[in-house]
């Protein structure tokens, strides 16, 4: 039995949490993990399209 697939949306946001841009179309695959010992509890790792990488690079 395989793990269930979850469809989700991914947004680029500002520090206040306001949605600036829907970037769901650039994600090829992603994983979310949790580690309560880190400063940031949730971490999202994703593979993105080349066009998406170029689109996000100015914000890195």
Share of the chain above pLDDT 90, in %: 30
Residue at 2 is within a domain: no
For residue 5, is it within any domain? no
pLDDT higher than threshold 70 for residue 60: no
Does 4 fall in a domain?
no
Measuring CA to CA, which residue among 20, 29, 2 is closest to residue 59?
20
pLDDT digits 0-9 by tens, 18-38: 999 999 999 998 888 887 787
Average pLDDT rounded to a whole number, residues 38-54: 85
Query: Per DSSP, which regions of 1-60 are E strands?
Result: 11-13, 19-22, 27-34, 42-48
The mean per-residue pLDDT over the stretch 8-25 comes to: 89
Average pLDDT estimate for 8-23: 89
> What distance in Å separates the CA atoms of residue 53 and residue 41, rounded to the nearest whole number?
24
Number of H helices, E strands in the chain: 1, 4
Range of the domain at 32: 11-59
Domain count, the chain: 1
Q: 0.85 cut: is pTM over it?
A: no
């Amino acid at each position: 039995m395989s793990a269930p697939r979850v469809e989700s949306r991914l947004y680029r946001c500002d520090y206040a949490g306001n949605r600036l841009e829907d970037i769901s179309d650039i994600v090829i695959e992603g994983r979310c993990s949790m580690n309560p010992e880190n400063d940031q509890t949730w971490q999202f790792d994703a593979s993105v399209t080349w066009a998406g990488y170029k689109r996000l690079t100015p914000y890195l």
